[in-house]
Structure 1
Amino acid sequence: MPENIEQRVNKLRIKAAQRYNIAPERCHVGHLALEGMLERPSAICQIDGATNAQETNISVATRSMRLASAMKNAGFKPGDPIIISGPNHLDLAIPYYACHFMGYSMCSIDPSAEISDLKSLYGNIQPKIVFCQKENLEKNKEALEANRLDNVEIVAFDDMENFIQKHRGTEVNFKPSSDFDQSKTAAWYILTSGSTGLPKVAIITFDTLLNGVIEWWLPTRQDVIHMNMLMTSTQWLSSLIYFISSSIKPFVRLQSSQPVSPPLLVHMINTYKPTSTAWTPYLLARFVQAPAKVVDLSCFKHILVGGAPSEKHIIEEFKKLCDAELHLCYGMTELLVGCFDYNEKTTPFGSSGKPFSKYRYRLVDDEGQEVTEPHKNGELWVKGDAFFKGYLNNEKETKEMLTDDGWLKTGDIFYRDENDNYFFVERKRLLIRYLTTWVSPVQLEQIIRQHPSVSEVCVVGLSNPQTMEYPVAAILKKNGNVVEPQEIFDLVKKEMPEAKHLHGGLFFVEGFPMTPSGKVHRSKVAEMARQSERVFSLN
């Protein structure tokens, strides 16, 4: 019988405590990650599916210890902010693990980040060192100089060995740092705001992170995760979790130093046969629409599906192609983990699942009163030990998300049924205010997708001086089919009251801008809507 994640963590904690002669409670997630690698030295740790290069646990552990030692010798201390910005090549893991070993506060930024975002982030985070791609040296230098951080060293991944030698880094007698408060020291600064605006920086402390790792994997069967395939950069939560978990759980990490294009994705699946991954409903739909026999999905045993609501017909069609357990997960960066107990066999479709006993839950209406009856909407509030501690240097946003007594206000509207199944309705912040009516983009999108020639749709709100806002639909046609705009307007009018019609019109797109985590980038779609020639209803 395979050990569960709690048993595995306790085992690694005891072994690490013995190795470094410290009390078990002083062992943090960095100790456990290193111990997991040292325990299985010859096992494969990571594979780059784009180059087919791979690396063992002992190689990753040794390189990471040498860098961590060099950083300590260079004067870095627990809690110092460290930037890592690169694709998922094999070198990315080295500063990633070094930060966890030594108690540094790591912020991972997608290498495609705009210079304007970097300037804003570096002013907020005040990094002590930046690890990045050689081709991004100038971009990072400019962002640092804009914040008068001219003395911050920038190390290209190709030059890490020079940094290690300069500061006499060594794995000999290496010992992770344990002299810091795990409840107050940030392990991760995670960029959040998803597809809706400029990034905020969520704080995940070392103790919260370890709780999150445990609670992320508890609902998963122990015998199905042998190789996990990453789809996004480590700016995004799922990849961050998979990196730190791979030696703790353990499993092989399949990643890519190149953007995961459809041909590369097919190559990675057919060649390495991963058993688990995290996908968006959008990607599931692409597999459903792909030509038959292009890719063999039979290797998958567990697929986490999140980032957007799932449509029943897409799930049903995908299950015909792949027999994996699908975990339709509700979550957000600030929650760190899925906060509902979802079971593919027993959870009603459309529900996120039932509450976990370890967390507390509330639904709260617009007047601040708790909703106790079933089938009545309210904002979901949760309380637990795996959630974020606030936004870095942003007291206003923190107070909007966290109450004084520790409740996290998700900003998401839910209702519960008579059996305590919770159902996601809409993101509160995405609702469009048309005069005195709140309009749900998700509801309009579900209606428009009923049109047989619509492949995908995104509804956004644009400002309007007469009505406050109005909804606009961006539509991707299916396989180049002809779509008469009036058919879309009539479809909405048939099912929705006048106040919830497409008063801002619609326009057609050749494709949608996507976030690196695979979500439609709503703020960019809104910008497209402002600049596009829109079609309006004739009646």
Structure 2
Amino acid sequence: MVIIADHVALLKKQAAERHNISTERCHIGHVILEGMLQYPDTIHQIDAVTQKQETNISVANRTKRLATAMRNYGLKVNDNIIVMGNNHLDLCIPYFACHFNGYALCAVDPIMTAEDLQTLFHYVSPEMVFCSKDKVEDTKNALSKNNLETPIVVFDDKENDLEAFVKKHNGTEEQFCLPDFDHSKTIAWLMLTSGTTGLPKVAVIPFDTLLSGLCCWWVQFTDDMDYALAMATIQWMSSLIIFSSTCLMNFTRVQLSVPITPQLLIHVINKYKPKACAWTPYLLGQFLRAAGDLCDLSSFKYIAIGGSSIEKPLFDQFSAKCGAYLYLVYGMTELLVPVFEYNRTTPFGSTGKPMDKFQYRLVAEDGSTVTKPNEDGELWLKGDAFFKGYFNNPEETRKIINDDGWIMTGDIFYKTEDNYYHFVERKRLLIKYCGFWISPLQLEDVIKQHPAVAEVCVVGIPDKETTETPVAIIQKKNGCQVEASEIFKLVREKMPDVKQLHGGLYFLDSLPQTPSGKVHRAKLKEMTITATRIMPTQ
């Protein structure tokens, strides 16, 4: 049994004794290193693609060498570091070096476009970048556009890789000690979040907030774990949590050094039988359609499902195949932690009940507080566990954190008489048509009732006469046929006139998705403006 709070307290005590400091001065870098040293021969990470693996002590020593080399190069506490790559065995070395040295880690998915890198570097101004050879040119261009002369360490280039950097700057594991700094004022993570705009914003997570936040994710899970699966790259919260928790929860991290596919995932799950992982509903639906009866899911004990709401048929389908505790978590990057008490008795469709440690408000359009049950309002939250604003972006920060410290989530909720909260809609996704607000999720739920529809996304595009007009983008199930007229008829039967598909629809073989497994609404909206659409009058 692993009680996360107890284990972290033990690791802090051991680290304090090892480094001759008080437990209050121990930050997450101390705790992670102590976790590696506690079980030195335990396998820390496995690349399921190459079958290569590495022990805790090897990861600890390689990280120490890189951390001292980075200090010798001249990096200082609170410097910003970009780490970009797929989940190969070298990725965690600069990742943990940032935690050891008090650097602000900004983890980036390698599929980030050159334009987004340029925007990101404008805000972050990195002091060092770690990436693979195929991202060097984009990285150099982004740095040049921002007049930055930043060194690039290249994972897969022998002349410029981790070992070359360590050798050049005299990295060593001998007599290693971690720097002392103010945990509340030193940034641990710079987390990318784009919302629906597609433009990167960077959420600030300090060191003290991070360690307490990591513990929150594992409170409900106390079973011993041998393997946990990191599916996404470390830009995304699920893998950030699994990477940082490897030594806090004493598991071996299974990861993939190439982009994930359902077929590869089937192989990995059958081979390693992990006990924990995280899914988005979209990725889960894709996986179940591909897996059929080819994958044994019985090993899973704890699965977090987030990123968007899961539909009851998909939930039931997965539950029938997997006996794990399905933790349906409401969250957003800026919150870092789960904010509702959710357990096995929570009614389906509810995000859970409020926690005592946070403050909650539901706010109506006129700014008043919603007090009656079953009335919609925007969820506002206040607490010390959340992000501290967007890095170097006060304008965007003011849009989400008001003068009284409330985080305005932009998400519409209602609560029942017994205080269960229910997510309704993301406020910023609503489509304004002729003065009326149309919920894309509501339209999507109707369209998914058609037996030939696998996935659907409804977006609003600009219209001179109506402000915006809703358009549906539909992915058919394999081997199925559906006519546009059938979809229009279905929506007419279920929805009022104002909430029809006034902008039409079109079909795609597959819907684009973000690296975290969500439908890429921003990209679909951009595509839809120039797409050939089938209109309801045709």
* Match in the other structure for 1:335: 335
Deviation at 1:292, TM superposition (A): 3.6
Which of 132, 146, 154 is the aligned partner of 1:156? 154
Residue 247 of structure 1 corresponds to which residue in structure 2?
A: 247
Q: How does 1:485-524 map to 2 (within 5 A)?
A: 485-524=484-523
Q: Name the residue aligned to 2:444.
A: 445
Structure 2 residue aligned with 1:183: 184
SS state at 1:316 partner: helix
Q: CA deviation at 1:224?
A: 5.2
Partners of 2:494 and 2:325 lie apart in 1 by: 34
Q: Map of 1:468-483 to 2, 5 A cutoff?
A: 468-483=467-482
Q: Distance in 2 between matches of 1:195 and 1:271?
A: 37
After TM superposition, give the deviation of residue 280 of structure 1 in Å: 1.1
Q: In structure 2, do the counterparts of structure 1 residues 381 and 38 end up closer, same or farther at CA, with 3 Å as the change threshold?
A: same
Specify the alignment match of 2:260 in structure 1: 260
Q: Is the 8 A contact 1:434 1:467 kept in 2?
A: yes
Shift of 1:81: 0.4
Match of 1:201 in 2: 202
Q: Which residue of 1 aligns with 2:531?
A: 532
Tell me the equivalent position of 1:427.
426
For 1:231, the equivalent position in structure 2 comes to 231
CA distance in 1, matches of 2:297, 2:260: 16
Distance in 2 (CA, whole Å) between partners of 1:383 and 1:70 is 40
Secondary structure (helix, strand or coil) at the match of 1:326 reads: strand
How far apart are the structure 2 equivalents of 1:313 and 1:90?
37
Deviation at 1:291, TM superposition (A): 5.3
Uncovered stretches (5+) of structure 2, i.e. residues with no partner: none
Q: Does 1:18 align with 2:28?
A: no
1:194 positional shift: 4.3
Choose 36-45 or 189-198, whichever is displaced more. Answer: 189-198
* TM-score using structure 1 length: 0.97
Take 1:254 and 1:377, find their aligned partners in 2: how far apart are those partners? 41
Query: Unaligned 5+ residue runs, structure 1?
Result: none
| Letter matched to residue 324 of structure 1 | A
User: Is the 8 Å Cα contact of residues 486 and 538 (structure 1) preserved in structure 2?
Assistant: no
Q: In 2, are the aligned partners of 1:196 and 1:522 still within 8 Å (CA)?
A: no
Q: Shift of residue 253 of structure 1?
A: 0.7
Assess if the C-alpha contact under 8 Å between 2:263 and 2:290 holds in 1.
no
Counterpart-to-counterpart distance in 1, 2:136 and 2:507 = 38
Displacement of 1:250: 2.2
User: What is the aligned partner in structure 1 of residue 357 from structure 2?
Assistant: 358
Query: 5 Å matches for 1:257-406?
Result: 257-290=257-290, 292-344=292-344, 346-406=345-405
Question: Following TM superposition, by how much is the alpha carbon of 1:195 offset from its aligned partner in structure 2, in angstroms?
Answer: 5.1
Q: Which moved more, 1:166-175 or 1:280-289?
A: 280-289
Structure-1 residue corresponding to 2:174 = 172
For residues 291 and 493 of structure 2, the distance between their equivalents in structure 1, rounded to whole angstroms, comes to 34
**Which amino acid letter does the alignment assign opposite residue 85 of structure 1?**
M
Q: Offset at 1:287?
A: 3.8
Residues 80 and 125, structure 2, Cα contact 8 Å, conserved in 1: yes
Whole-Å separation in 1 of the counterparts to 2:182 and 2:532: 56
SS of 2:523 mapped into structure 1: helix
1:216 to 2:217 alignment: yes
- Superposed CA offset, 1:140-199 (max 9, x none): 1111111111x3111112411111111111111101111x22111111111102454211
Q: Secondary structure at the match of 1:290?
A: helix
Rounded to whole Å, the distance in 2 between the matches of 1:155 and 1:285 is 37
Does the 8 Å CA contact 2:119/2:200 hold for their aligned counterparts? no
- In structure 2, distance between residues paired with 1:337 and 1:369: 27
Equivalent residues of 1:196, 1:521 under 8 A apart: no
- Give the match for residue 121 of structure 2: 122
Provide the rounded CA distance (Å) in 1 between the counterparts of 2:456 and 2:522: 14
Normalising by structure 2, report the TM-score: 0.97
1:351 partner SS: coil
Distance (whole Å) between structure 1 residues aligned to residue 397 and residue 224 of structure 2: 38
C-alpha change, 1:131 and 1:89, in structure 2 (3 Å) is same
Q: 1:59-90: per-residue Cα shift (whole Å, max 9, x none)?
A: 00000011001111111111000111111000
Is residue 196–residue 428 contact of structure 2 (8 Å, CA) maintained in 1?
no
Deviates more, 1:185-194 or 1:36-45: 185-194
Is the alpha carbon distance of 1:91 and 1:194 closer, same or farther for their aligned partners in structure 2, counting shifts above 3 Å? farther
Assess if the C-alpha contact under 8 Å between 2:263 and 2:291 holds in 1: no
After superposing on structure 2, the runs of 4+ consecutive aligned residues of structure 1 that deviate more than 6 Å are: none
Report if the CA contact (8 A) 1:225-1:302 is conserved.
no
**How far did 1:101 drift?**
0.3
Instruction: Give me the whole-angstrom Cα distance separating, in 1, the residues matched to 2:237 and 2:420.
Output: 25
- Distance (whole Å) between structure 2 residues aligned to residue 196 and residue 207 of structure 1: 30
- C-alpha distance in 2 between matches for 1:375 and 1:225: 40
Distance verdict in 2 for CA 1:291–1:39, change over 3 Å: closer
CA contact (8 A) 2:283 2:518 kept: no
Question: Which amino acid in 1 is paired with 2:228?
Answer: N
Alignment-derived partner of residue 484 in structure 1:
483
Query: Which amino acid letter does the alignment assign opposite residue 236 of structure 1?
Result: W
- The C-alpha deviation readout for 1:476-515, integer Å capped at 9, x for no partner, is 1112312121221121122222111111100011001110
- Aligned Cα RMSD in Å? 1.2
Distance 2:450 2:426 in 1: 24
Partner residue, 2:462: 463
